[in-house]
Structure 1
Amino acid sequence: MFVIIGAVIVLGATFGAFLMSGGNFGLLMHPPEFVAIFGITGGVAVICAPKDVLIHTIHATIGALKGAGPGKEDYLDLMKVMYELFMLGRRNGLLALDEHVSSPESSSIFSNYPKFLADKDKVTFLCSALRPIIDGKIKPDQLEPLLKAEIDAKKHAAHGPINVLHLLGDSLPGIGIVAAVLGIILTMSVLDQGVMVIGGRISAALTGTFLGIFIAYGFINPLCNLIEFGNEAEETYYICMSRSIGAFARGLAPIMAVELARRSLEASMVPSADDLENILKSATSG
């Protein structure tokens, strides 16, 4: 929602000022400049990154525009599903978790939280973190460094789209100049055709410069920053999960393992300790 509001403000302020100064949109409609700007930018994107990074960039952009990123309800679902798993492991032994971790899609616990279950990456992280505890293949104090390494790998992968968008944002003003220079070259070939023709060609050339600068600073760079904030929120989510799982592996009571996760988050993202305890107990009793 805020992305749309911001875009409306940017467009409204720019073109509103243009119209108030006596301009009209027809002066900005020069399709060859659009082809040059967007075509060269697309080519730069293809050159600068592998295919999987470009696909990830598209997904990250769509996610940012949708306002992706864990919210309060997402954290509550996470804490409830972890608490239920931890309680089951405490009551019935760690082997009781095996059926849930092996097939989360058919798990009676995971199925209570469809939004969490739909996020395959987060489900996989949780299950793969619990798996070595169930199998007894790792000591409790060795688990968190393992999870940290996985989070660092996710962080590195998530930075790819930011690198691509940074490059495009930095390149667009220069690409706009390239489009403008092409327009000036064409203008030099019609110097004998009068002021009106020359003025139209120069106007078209300057449109390329305008588009490059406008798209870079009005949209690409802010979008890059938004994706970076989203990546930080995702990283916090995984850190929260890893701390809670590590605490459970070390023998903390389920409620305290989840409480550790709660304390690692901003207050606006989670309820108070007493409220969370009531929510967790009502979830398991239900």
Structure 2
Amino acid sequence: MIGIIGIITIFVMVFGGYLAAGGKMGIILKSLPFEMTMIGGAAVGAFLISNSGAEVKHTLKDLGKVFKGPKWKHEDYRDLLCLLFELIRLARQNPVAIEEHIEAPSESSIFSKYPKIISDTEATALICDTMRSASMNYDDPHQVEEVLEKRMDANMHHALHSSHALQTIADGLPALGIVAAVLGVIKTMASIDQPPEVLGKLIGGALVGTFLGVFLAYGLVGPFAEKVKAVTEEDSHFYQLIREVLVANLHNHATNICIEVGRQNTPSHCRPSYADLEEALKTVKQSAA
């Protein structure tokens, strides 16, 4: 919602200010289709040249983050801590029983309580892979933490590609606007024998290209790139919480301490209160009894 409000604000302030100053929209509207074809078409072509098919799909999908915001909300962090509590407690009570849950999470009675988490392939794989490795005696907390850190860095690098691709387009749009403007000037020079009122409209149309390139770069595409980056980085805290809790588990801290470590490493605006989490864990214990 806030993304839509931002876009509306940009258009109202820019064009409202232009009209309030006595500007006429006629010349802009007349030139806009042709300038947008040149600038927008060149930007799309450059985007396709510099990205693979999978990267193009990934970027288009990530544009939704501008309007949807972060995937993981307050209740999702609480649910994650409850899920990890159940898994860690079971692994300590019955190491054999945990295998059916981490080998087939889609059929697990524990994972099935948290459909949003299990629908995320990376979150589920991160939990299951780490707990499976621990059951195979790969349980040195420092080594596991290093492996998880490298894995998440690689995932983050891939996830941020959309932001980098959009920022690259934003960086190129002003130059593409100049290209369109130069073509407009060439067209104007071919009509140099026309009266001043005609030349004025032709020059104004050419300058629309410069305006459009800069406007799209700094008013839309650039902010889109920054928003995608911010949302991606915020969502990464969800996976970092998994790492913190599972590494704490490998340090053989008490189960409640492991969960508290995770709670305190949750971003403040998504962090469940101690009482709220205790109430949720009490419900988990009662359902497991």
Q: TM-score range by the shorter chain?
A: over 0.9
Percent of aligned pairs sharing the same letter: 34
Contact 2:101 / 2:110 at 8 angstroms: preserved in 1? yes
With normalisation by structure 1, the TM-score equals: 0.93
Once the two structures are TM-superposed, the CA of residue 57 in structure 1 deviates from its matched residue by: 1.8
Indicate yes or no: 2:21 matched with 1:13: no
CA distance in 2, matches of 1:26, 1:255: 67
Q: What is aligned with 1:157? A: 158
In structure 1, stretches of 5+ residues that fail to align are: none
Q: Report which stretch shifted further, 194-203 or 8-17.
A: 194-203
Q: Is the 8 A contact 1:57 1:161 kept in 2?
A: yes
Once residues 26 and 73 of structure 1 are traced to their aligned partners in structure 2, the CA distance between those partners, rounded to angstroms, is 51
AA at the equivalent of 1:276: L
In structure 2, the residue matched to 1:130 is 131
Determine if contact 2:70/2:235 at 8 Å carries over to the other structure: no
CA displacement 1:170-200 (0-9 Å, x = unmatched) = 1111110100000110111112232333222
More helix by share: 1
Which residue does the alignment assign to 1:70?
72
Which residue of structure 2 lines up, in the alignment, with residue 260 of structure 1?
Answer: 261
State whether residues 77 and 266 of structure 2, in contact with CA within 8 Å, keep that contact through their aligned partners in structure 1: no
Q: Deviation string for 1:206-251 (max 9, x for gaps)?
A: 1111111111111112122212211221222211110101111222
Moved more, 55-64 or 202-211: 55-64
Secondary structure of 1:267 counterpart: coil
1:283 positional shift: 2.5
Distance 2:17 2:142 in 1: 61
> Which residue matches 1:58?
60
SS in 1 for 2:252: coil
- The answer as to 2:51 corresponding to 1:49 is yes
TM-score relative to the length of structure 2: 0.92
Helix, strand or coil at the partner of 1:16: helix
Corresponding residue for 1:26? Answer: 26
Distance 1:40 1:34 in 2: 9
CA contact (8 A) 1:80 1:280 kept: yes
Give me the CA root mean square deviation: 1.7
Give the conservation status (yes or no) of the 8 Å contact 2:63–2:224: yes
Listed as ranges, the gaps of 5+ residues in structure 2 are: none
The offset of 1:142, in angstroms, is: 2.2
Aligned residues: 285
Matched-pair contact (CA < 8 Å) for 2:237–2:267? no
- The structural deviation recorded for 1:24 is 4.0
